[in-house]
Structure 1
Amino acid sequence: MVQVITPDRRTAIRTAAALVATGTLAPAITNCTPPTATAKPPPTPTPSRPRAPTPRHFPSHPTHLTHGPRTNPRVALTFHGAGNPTTAHTLLTEAERHGAHVTVLAVGTWLDAHPDLARRILDGGHDLGNHTLNHRDINAMPEAEATAEITGCATRLKHLTGSIGTWFRPSRATRASPLVARLAQDAGYPHVLSYDVDSLDFTSPGAPAVTRKVLGEIRNGSVVSLHFGYPDTIAALPAVLEELDRRGLRAVTTTELLS
């Protein structure tokens, strides 16, 4: 069959050819499979370390905190973080078994020796704070040395967790001197955490004595001083937690106690 090209069709063909020649119109491509696009692999996520809570300012509470509100049936069990790491793991596990959360004030050199404990404490839902770098008598130090004790521990906490910790407690002292309190605030801690119940567990008086001391003084809002590293504390903690449950006193972190 002979195809007849009319004058109009001949003009259209010439026009299209001219447009292709000048680059105005792309030539048609037939019988060509479009190239398959190469899928880009998804970007590899950058691993990030979970950040720990940062210090909070509680305007209705003083710089030196010895207890929380007396109107709520909640208490804070606070532990000085040092000593045998096995003891620390045992005490944390026992608290969690009772649904309790605690506050750990860690010594910086202890964190150097046992860095995994920082995340163990936080992953258990507990507070983690600063108890100086070397656990020396900070109130007796000159300003430069006291500053180094506070910031040295803060640096280790930040390296391990992304935060300087939620609390500061002076070492070898119930309360911070005015100088140490100011240095702690300069380092980023709005409050100095003290306590109103001292378990005296560090004197190794025996588990029954630790239990009697804590349960004889604890009440709504109390902050209790305890220590890692002492067998008496391990033996006393179950009885303390069971009695707190019986009295309807809930053991919470210091942050929760004050919130």
Structure 2
Amino acid sequence: MSDHPSQQPSGANTTRPAPDRRVVLRSGFALAAGMSGAGALTAGCSVTGAVAHPAARASDTNPTARTARTSRATPTARTSGAPRAVPVAPSPRRFPDQPVEIAHGPRGRPQVALTFHGQGDPAIARAVLGEAEKGGAHVTVLAVGSWLDEHPELARRILDGGHDLGNHTLRHLDINAMSEADADAEIRGCAQRLRRLTGSIGTWFRPSRTAHASPLVRRLARGAGYPHVLSYDVDPLDFTSPGGPAVARRITGELRNGSVVSLHFGYADTVAALPAVLEDLHRRGLRAVTTTELLS
């Protein structure tokens, strides 16, 4: 379970063609059988088994157009030519009735939040978003800053789908084990990339390699502009690649009103599990909404 995002020359800002894949991404549990065990591209955020992400490039150049838009459009196929303007993303909000670290939303409303650690193969990321949208779900993506360096176009894709986009540190290292200066650089480094790409530092902050932020990390997150740290109460451990059916069973077995689920881009099992998860939510009268909507 290591992080190996593809590389490109520093400062490049062209859209790369989709790689030649031997496996067709599709919905359903058949995907897990075809791709389970294939080199995982992003590690989970538990400390156990964590492998450090390679250091991010020193350069911070991504001249993506940033013309403000006040509404989100339905996702459409991207045309050739100059990049389209990225809509201005919402800023973090303070919820006075919520603690600094939020693990779940109100238990009295039939809503849940599916949250995704944003890193890994961009084709799988797009497949996750596509499955969510087919099922009428809005999700929350906590993006790794170095991943946004490699795939800046995904910021627009996430926002165009009506999803939350937030901060999951710059390099996806064990932030609780860092010095104050290094931890602050991880939070602010990702925030800078989000602001450059979307006009906002993102809606939420989630610490990397841990379910719970240390008091120091919570303080640094507040200083960077994030009133809350986003944790979760359901963790199906999809990054261990247990198979799509197992991921779905773990989610549906633990889910209840207000739950925040921790999931990951970059794993075929996660894509395979989503149709069954969303079908179960529909059967139980639960809606999958962004974390912001969950708490509003």
Q: TM-score, normalised by structure 1?
A: 0.81
Q: CA deviation at 1:199?
A: 1.3
2:231 pairs with 194, 201, 224, which one? Answer: 194
The answer for the alignment partner of 2:26 in structure 1 is none
2:271 pairs with 225, 234, 238, which one? Answer: 234
2:256 pairs with 209, 219, 226, which one? Answer: 219
Q: CA deviation at 1:185?
A: 0.3
1:113 is aligned to 2:144:
no
CA distance in 2, matches of 1:147, 1:105: 17
| Equivalent AA in structure 2 for residue 165 of structure 1 | G
The answer for the alignment partner of 1:133 in structure 2 is 170
Which stretches of structure 1, 4 residues or more, deviate above 2 A after TM superposition?
46-50
Q: Deviations over 1:25-68 (max 9, x none)?
A: xxxxxxxxxxxxxxxxxxxxx95453110000000000000000
2:197 pairs with 160, 177, 180, which one? Answer: 160
Q: What is the SS of the residue equivalent to 1:198?
A: coil
Deviates most, 205-214 or 106-115: 205-214
The answer for the alignment partner of 1:40 in structure 2 is none
CA distance in 2, matches of 1:199, 1:155: 31
| Equivalent residues in 2 for 1:55-94, closer than 5 Å | 55-94=92-131
Q: What is the SS of the residue equivalent to 2:212?
A: coil
The answer for the alignment partner of 1:122 in structure 2 is 159
| Equivalent AA in structure 2 for residue 190 of structure 1 | P
CA distance in 1, matches of 2:100, 2:247: 28
Q: Deviations over 1:174-197 (max 9, x none)?
A: 000000000000000000000000
Paired residues, what number?
214
1:147 pairs with 184, 205, 208, which one? Answer: 184
Q: What 5-or-longer segments of structure 1 have no aligned partner?
A: 1-45
Percent identity over the alignment is 74
Q: Deviations over 1:217-245 (max 9, x none)?
A: 00000000000000110111110001100
1:173 is aligned to 2:210:
yes
CA distance in 1, matches of 2:173, 2:166: 17
CA distance in 2, matches of 1:237, 1:142: 38
Q: What is the SS of the residue equivalent to 2:169?
A: coil
Q: In 2 relative to 1, CA 94–140 (structure 1 residues): closer, same or farther, beyond 3 Å?
A: same
RMSD (Å), alpha carbons: 1.0
1:54 is aligned to 2:82:
no
CA distance in 2, matches of 1:97, 1:205: 24
| Equivalent AA in structure 2 for residue 158 of structure 1 | R
CA distance in 1, matches of 2:291, 2:121: 24
Q: In 2 relative to 1, CA 204–47 (structure 1 residues): closer, same or farther, beyond 3 Å?
A: closer
Q: What 5-or-longer segments of structure 2 have no aligned partner?
A: 1-65, 69-84
Q: Deviations over 1:101-146 (max 9, x none)?
A: 0000000000000000001101100000000000000000000000
The answer for the alignment partner of 2:283 in structure 1 is 246
| Equivalent AA in structure 2 for residue 174 of structure 1 | A
